[in-house]
Structure 1
């Protein structure tokens, strides 16, 4: 079990280790970002082959389309916070570190300096998309350069704080507050190294289809991913996205005042 501490702006306690050291930047040690409420991200999607998106009734065909996503820091504060940070991150050189040990009693930690990395302003701008029958997935080119992972984060229904690095057993009746089994659910892909962690930047829109679901209409992957939001506007665009289309821009429209960055703790 994790020792817990009160996280400012949230009604529940976060594991103490997620309020402690993650990476070093210009000699200063930083913490996980977190979102202490909800925010709105707007994606502008551009056709990769120069074609157009089908217009809505009375509209014109366009080569770009917008999708708005509400991200939920109440139920997934670390995942939503990391995502919001990447959307608005400023370019800056950083040094990634690995935490190899931590003593809560003595407050000591061991770190290994690994590699320099750079996250540009609007980290998803220019990101290519790929499609499967069940998801629209962002490219993972930033994964290795970012140098850290975010723990799997799922809040079970009826509970008051998320579980970390733990999946849910839907067969035993465990259900998440933010279900994957919704068309347009937004979740982080798993880390390449361990399914106890999410990728630091690769996310996907889930194209839920009840015809491909299991008992009770739930996705076979329910309770296995860190879901942190839902497409609320432009959902009709999701079915039109094709492999090779591009995120031209991603903007944090709402929630900047609820985004707690590492140097603001």
Structure 2
């Protein structure tokens, strides 16, 4: 019980810090490379509610650390893409994954191009002024560096991707079912390999209830939708 209280308090502190940081930002702190101008980006933070049979799970999406990953997620949520999709992977003490559309496709097919929209791996390292795009921290030779958003808490939200394609993420995402003994921040196999772009903040205990085949009823952006910028 004490450990759960500590996790809850840590999430509360993170939320307060995030709100204060958002108030202090007068303009987005870095430029996104032109090669990604065809992708939506999220220039701020948002609250997203995910309605399920077990209740409503609320998450904070952080575009300050991962604007392309957050932008892709918020854009798909606003399109209604996730509504009705199943949780396709559930592993005790590890992950809950969703976002795989029905049919042969593994991700979102952009109606404007007829092709799957993919986004680059995007990781902001503490002390850096902008994210690393397209490479894992191991590939960059900086495995000891700490991501700004680490896999450090139950309910960490990250983008899934094919094992052999760091830039192949499209629509599938996962929540970490954190156990400190198994995945200590900074020395686990996930930090620097996958893009974290948010955290569950309300009703996150329902992550323990999901089973393969359970569905997302609806996903709605309830705060911060104005921070989504579509490509021009």
**TM-score bucket (shorter structure):** 0.7 to 0.9
Where structure 1 has 5 or more consecutive residues not aligned to the other structure, the ranges are 1-8, 20-30, 47-63, 90-121
Q: Does 1:81 align with 2:68?
A: no
| Contact in 1 for aligned 2:47/2:221 (Cα 8 Å) | yes
Aligned twin of 1:225: 194
Equivalent residue number for residue 126 of structure 1: 84
What is the match of residue 4 of structure 2? Answer: none
Question: Which of these two proteins has the greater Rg computed from alpha carbons?
Answer: 1
Q: Which residue of 2 aligns with 1:250?
A: 219
Which residue of the partner structure matches residue 121 of structure 2? 152
Is 1:137 the counterpart of 2:100 in the alignment? no
Answer yes or no: is the 8 Å Cα contact 2:150–2:186 preserved in 1: no
Contact 1:42 1:69 survives alignment (8 Å): yes
The answer to whether residue 161 in structure 2 is matched with residue 202 in structure 1 is no
Inter-CA distance 255–244: structure 2 relative to 1 (3 Å threshold)? same
How do 1:2-13 residues align onto structure 2 when only pairs under 5 Å count? 9-13=27-31
Shift of 1:211: 2.0
- Give 2:158's aligned residue: 187
The answer to whether the aligner puts 1:41 opposite 2:48 as a matched pair is yes
1:241: how far off?
1.4
Q: Residue 171 of structure 1: CA displacement? A: 7.6
TM-score (norm: length of structure 2)? 0.77
CA RMSD of aligned residues (A): 2.1
Partner SS for 1:80 = helix
Shift of 1:195: 2.7
Residue 112 of structure 1 aligns with which residue? none
Question: How far is the alpha carbon of 1:217 from its aligned partner?
Answer: 6.6
More strand by share: 1
Q: CA deviation at 1:199?
A: 1.9
CA distance in 2, matches of 1:253, 1:40: 6
- Paired residues of 2:40 and 2:75 also in contact (CA < 8 A): yes
